[in-house]
Amino acid sequence: MFERVLAIGDIHGKYDKLTNLWDKIKYDDSKDFLIFLGDYIDRGEKPVECIEFVMDKVKNNKNVHALMGNHEFMMQEFFHTCGVEPALKDKDMGFMDIWLDPQNGGHDTLDVLRELYPSDPDRVKKIVNFVDNLDVYNEDIDGFFFVHGGIDPKKDIHQQSVEDLVWIRWDCFDFYDNDKLTLVVGHTPVQSFDVKKNTPMEMENNIILLDTGSFLKNGKITCMNVLTKDIWQSL
């Protein structure tokens, strides 16, 4: 039994906020379970530092886990379509890809990876490989289902597509109904409900929303102990 079950919402390249939050959490691998809910990259200034931070914590702690967000999913699809080495060498490749749409911020990540690749290809390949092997949900803790986007309530929870799990929003929020299983999600900033809000939402239908808009004005990265609802937030 863990003393704390910690979930961290969307990060989006905000490395200074991430390290500030981590210092506040004071994670202890002998007592805690911790899961990152995805979206480590894009939109922020230091996407590589953020995803490597997560990689390091997963590698060096047996009870730290990381999920795929829709931004990692878009990155994965981009490299699967274009090929890793061609996409990193040809700066004109993939310009119509959804990941590289300005509103998704993929260039904030891809440009850094392309810059790093000539001098340190192994570093870049490790990041791509990490993304390829991310889980899309976690149900290690009884009574909780951790996922980036949510689930399609019309389907059995174990019959979801990857796209459902990383992309879904409103169908989940509107129609999910299970008082025995708490969904813990990121993906949709709480500011989508109230532009002044930057703290987690506990929805009436048993969903906890932990994306507190890290990349938005006054946004933060949030960690919650889902057992007690205690929260820690970045500056």
Cβ–Cβ under 8 Å, residues 222 and 8: yes
Calpha distance 139→1 (Å, rounded): 15
pLDDT at position 96: 80
Q: Tell me how far CA of residue 40 lies from CA of 18, 48, 72, 91, 111, in angstroms.
A: 10, 9, 8, 23, 16
Residue 155 neighbours by CB distance under 10 Å: 11
Domains parsed from the chain with CATH numbers = 4-68+137-233 (3.60.21.10), 72-132 (no CATH)
What residues form DSSP beta bridges with 209? Answer: 185, 201
Tokens describing residue 132: 């390829």
Calpha distance 180→87 (Å, rounded): 45
Global pTM reads: 0.96
DSSP-derived pairing of the beta strands 137-138 and 144-147 = antiparallel
What is the helix (H) or strand (E) element at residue 57, kind and residue range? helix 47-60
List of residues 6+ apart from 193 with CB closer than 8 A: 201
Print pLDDT tens along the chain (235 aa): 899 999 999 999 999 999 999 999 999 999 999 999 999 999 999 999 999 999 999 999 999 999 999 999 999 999 999 999 999 998 888 878 999 999 999 999 999 999 999 999 999 999 999 999 999 999 999 999 999 999 999 999 999 999 999 999 999 999 999 999 999 999 999 999 998 999 999 999 999 999 999 999 999 999 999 999 999 999 9
Burial of 165 (0-12, 13-18, 19+ CB in 10 A): buried
Identify the CA nearest to 145 among candidates 164, 130, 170.
164
